[in-house]
Structure 1
Amino acid sequence: MSPSPDPSSSSGSVPPSQAIVEAIAARDGVDVTDVEPPAYDPLYTVINPEALDALFRSIETRAGETPTGSNDAPDARVVVEYEGYEITVYSDGHVELSELSAGDESAEDEPTGDDSTGDPIEE
């Protein structure tokens, strides 16, 4: 599925971590307060919300130091997989969600079958 912007969080008036929760709630058709365990994993299982918010605050601060009319304003985005979506948060505050297909999901928790040297693990 193609990415779709979430208009409810495009103003940038909420921290990015909250914008992610709002985007998930809007896409899933639930209240923001329902995006919590046990129905949803905590956001901190995939990204540190405080660090994400601090990153974008620092970008915002830096943008405020850019001379008016300059095109040197910082541009950043963070992409994270959460609750079956690929979520992109942009420095202008907008959030895009794309549904992950079964083959797109990260395999970080699956054993690789080798040790840190790359040699197969023998049992």
Structure 2
Amino acid sequence: MTAGDGDRIDIAYRDVPSQAVVEAVAEAEGVPPEQLQPPTYEPLHSVIDPEALDTLFAPRADDVARAGGEVSFRFCGYDVTIGRDESVTLEKPDD
């Protein structure tokens, strides 16, 4: 992992959250995002619906930003947290 402290990496995303998660895990694993695929890595859609994730953080229909919140899930061996502040945090679990 290249950014952050110890077993944690924090990045900000500019695109959709689902793509940011793939890019963050690829960076942490030291591989290009297009190599983050089976059989070595699980697909994102096996743990969370990427479209639903992106919709959750997209502006409302009236183009107003949604209120705060975050989503956490485990993906490719990392605890992933996506925050309303356009952040993706990866942490290696202790187990």
TM-score interval, smaller chain: 0.7 to 0.9
CA distance in 2, matches of 1:3, 1:78: 17
Instruction: Identify the residue that residue 15 of structure 2 maps to in structure 1.
Output: 14
Instruction: Identify the residue that residue 3 of structure 1 maps to in structure 2.
Output: 8
Instruction: Identify the residue that residue 30 of structure 1 maps to in structure 2.
Output: 31
Query: Comparing both structures, which one devotes a greater share of its residues to helix?
Result: 1
Find the residue that maps to 2:58 and give its secondary structure: helix
Instruction: Identify the residue that residue 70 of structure 2 maps to in structure 1.
Output: 77
Find the residue that maps to 1:39 and give its secondary structure: coil
Which residues of structure 2 form unaligned runs of 5+?
1-5
Do the aligned residues in 1 keep the contact of 2:9 with 2:28 (CA within 8 Å)?
no
TM-score normalised by structure 1 residue count: 0.65
Which residues of structure 1 form unaligned runs of 5+?
64-72, 103-123
Map 1:34-49; keep pairs closer than 5 Å.
Answer: 34-49=35-50
CA distance in 1, matches of 2:51, 2:84: 15
Larger Rg over CA atoms: 1
Do the aligned residues in 2 keep the contact of 1:62 with 1:74 (CA within 8 Å)?
no
CA distance in 2, matches of 1:5, 1:74: 21
Q: Which amino acid aligns with 1:92?
A: D
Alignment match of 1:94 (pick from 77, 80, 87): 87
Find the residue that maps to 2:64 and give its secondary structure: helix
Q: CA deviation at 1:99?
A: 0.2
Aligned length: 89
Q: CA deviation at 1:100?
A: 1.3
TM-score normalised by structure 2 residue count: 0.82
Q: Which amino acid aligns with 2:57?
A: F
Query: Comparing both structures, which one devotes a greater share of its residues to strand?
Result: 2
Give the direction of change, closer, same or farther, for the CA distance of 1:32–1:62 in structure 2 (3 Å limit).
same
CA distance in 2, matches of 1:62, 1:17: 20
